[in-house]
Amino acid sequence: MRKSAPAEEPEAAESKSRILAAAERLFAEQGYAATSIGEVSESAGVNRALIYYYFKNKGDLYWAVIREGIDQLSHILTEAAEAGNGERGKLEAFVRAYYKLLLSRQDTVRIAFREITGSGEKLGLPIKEHFGQNLARMQALIREGIAAGEFREIDLELAAYSLMGMINVFVTQRFVTGRTFPAAKIVRHTMALFMNGVAASPI
């Protein structure tokens, strides 16, 4: 049976949230190797023992930070699949929520981007497997739109990658330019470009 949280930390959920937030910021700023449990402890305002209560080691904490963002993406896809207003409405609901998620979790975006591109810590984390699961769910959204007659026949995998890439670039460019576009503008642009393209007539 799992032990109860230490008596000196009665606000267990709030303490764990502070630990994850501090770790997210430090891992993003300094990288995995340069960040110590001691720094996370100091930044979160908790003792080291509490961190080891929730997480086995630094690698487990690192993966928890990344997994939290992946789980949020999965939740967004679930909500989009249950949205109304037809298949286009579901896709628009996803685009809106996904863009807002990326803006709110930019430290996680930096960490995950390093890992996915292979420039990270190479800890053997199952990031690509989890990402692939969410990509498959995105393909399912597009497949349903095709079946409903709202979308034309298209390569599902390429379409899913294209849509996510169109959103991702507006977040990653912020690291370069420092500029953030209004969410409503990005949603309108992304949906119009993805659904209609830029050609005056179909190719």
Q: How buried is residue 59: exposed, middle or buried, by Cβ count under 10 Å (0-12/13-18/19+)?
A: middle
pLDDT in tens, 80-126: 888 878 899 999 999 999 999 988 888 988 888 888 776 666 677 78
What CA–CA distance (Å, rounded) separates 164 from 185? 16
Where do the structural domains in the chain lie, given as residue ranges? 10-55, 65-196
| Residue that wins the pLDDT comparison between 173 and 141 | 141
Q: Residue 45's pLDDT is what?
A: 94
Which superfamily is assigned to 10-55 in CATH? Homeodomain-like (1.10.10.60)
What's the start-to-end Cα distance of the chain, in Å? 62
Average pLDDT taken over every residue of the chain: 87
Structure tokens at 187: 């949603």
The radius of gyration of the chain from alpha carbons, rounded to an integer in Å, stands at 20
Does residue 6 carry a pLDDT above 50?
Answer: no
Does residue 14 carry a pLDDT above 60?
Answer: yes
Q: Residue 113's pLDDT is what?
A: 80
Full-model pTM:
0.79
Q: Residue 97's pLDDT is what?
A: 92
Q: Residue 1's pLDDT is what?
A: 39
Q: How buried is residue 93: exposed, middle or buried, by Cβ count under 10 Å (0-12/13-18/19+)?
A: buried
Q: Residue 64's pLDDT is what?
A: 94
pLDDT in tens, 118-159: 666 667 778 888 888 889 999 999 999 999 999 999 999 999
Q: How far is CA 125 from the centre of its chain?
A: 15
Q: Which CATH number fits domain 65-196: 1.10.1760.20, 1.20.1630.10, 2.60.40.10, 1.10.357.10?
A: 1.10.357.10
Does residue 46 carry a pLDDT above 80?
Answer: yes
